[in-house]
Structure 1
Amino acid sequence: MAQISLAARNEPRECLRVVNVVAERLQDRGKDWRHVYKALILIDYLLRTGPNQVVTEFRVHAHHLRALEDFSYVDDDGRDQGLHS
């Protein structure tokens, strides 16, 4: 994560690329729930350690974050991986 943050900090185009890839991952569903989870962890890290451009770019993709309010995925063992308490 540190390397991603550093790359985003050093090159504005790289920052945009990172944000776009993460935004794509936020749209994954079903068995790819881990992509969403890891994307959220990376977003948190980038917002704290990345360049200010990250905040601006993620505002553009805020609708993807809002869509996760109703995220749900029940795995084969019956566990709801999207459950938030």
Structure 2
Amino acid sequence: MLVGFRTVRRATLELKCAGLEGDLARRSIEPSTLSLLGLLRRLADVERRWFRQALAAQDASPRFSSSAEPDADLLRERIDGAIGV
């Protein structure tokens, strides 16, 4: 069931991101700072942490955010500064 849920979420995001490149993937629509690249980063981090923490009992700190900036993975200015495409 968990794998099926993950598969559906990944397929939906892949469909939404198909054909996007460079700046188009980073573009947000005002007034939001949310982008499809931000969603992809959030999904990757949530999956990584969930599987490591919940299933493997391993420490898995967030890769793209922190307790000081919990939404840094979604924010355009953080994405632009972290990825050089």
TM over 0.5: no
> What TM-score do you get using the length of structure 2 for normalisation?
0.31
> What TM-score do you get using the length of structure 1 for normalisation?
0.31
Q: Per residue, is there more helix in 1 or in 2? A: 1
